[in-house]
Amino acid sequence: MICQECNQRPAALHFTKIINGEKTEVQLCEKCAQEKGEMFIFNSETGFAFNNLLAGLLNIDPAFQKPSQSPFHQEEILQCEHCSMTFPQFLKIGRFGCAQCYETFKEQLNPVLKRLHSGNWTHNGKIPKRIGGGLHLRKQIEELKNDLRNSISQEEFEKAAEIRDEIRTLEKKLAGSNKGGE
């Protein structure tokens, strides 16, 4: 077999690339393989738009794949009220139409966010001043304290300990934000 790059030397390297289920066989001689070496690392990204990937992620989501109850039952297509983007449309382009879409497609979105951001799906960073970081944190702490009381009354001590730790971190954060912000 002859190298497909220089068409001169015999091919020494044979490998198969699979991109989006599409198979490509590659035959290269050692020299060309070395020259292309660094290209191969990056080439996997070209011709492979992000939204394909995203659509893939969403489609394998079991919640989304659930077959409709009966063949006569037409499933409602989710549509954003503000910008009228539909969920299939979002899958196709991989971009939202407006800020409201995050609320509209919340249920489909959370599992995807977890996958995109290695398990995270809630914001843990900067908060615009007008929203007031302190207020938001205090609210969260209040809710957790309620949970804590419930857990203790139901003798779920392991869970209670977890919640207690969470409250501590939030309180620390609250103290920090008060110092920094105000």
Residue number with CB closer to another protein (2 or 63): 63
Q: What are phi and psi of 28, to 5 degrees?
A: -135, 150
* Residues pairing with 13 in the sheet: 28
CA–CA gap between residue 114 and residue 1 (Å, rounded):
46
Residue number with CB closer to another protein (20 or 120): 120
Residue number with CB closer to another protein (2 or 53): 53
Minimum separation from the CB atom of position 71 to another protein (A)? 32
Residue with tokens 């609210």, as numbered in its chain? 139
Q: 53, 18, 20, 15: which is closest to 37 by C-alpha? A: 15
For another protein, the binding residues (CB under 8 A) are 37-39, 41-43, 45-46, 50, 54, 82-83, 85, 93-99, 102-103, 109, 112-113, 116-131, 136
Residue number with CB closer to another protein (46 or 69): 46
> Residue 24, by phi and psi: left (phi above 0), alpha (psi -120 to 50) or beta?
beta
Q: What are phi and psi of 156, to 5 degrees?
A: -95, 80
Helices (DSSP H) in the chain: which residue ranges? 30-43, 50-59, 62-65, 87-93, 101-104, 106-116, 133-153, 157-181
Residue with tokens 């066989």, as numbered in its chain? 25
Minimum separation from the CB atom of position 149 to another protein (A)? 23
Minimum separation from the CB atom of position 162 to another protein (A)? 18
Q: Where are the beta strands (DSSP E) in 4-128?
A: 13-19, 22-28
Residue number with CB closer to another protein (29 or 137): 137
Minimum separation from the CB atom of position 127 to another protein (A)? 7
Minimum separation from the CB atom of position 83 to another protein (A)? 5
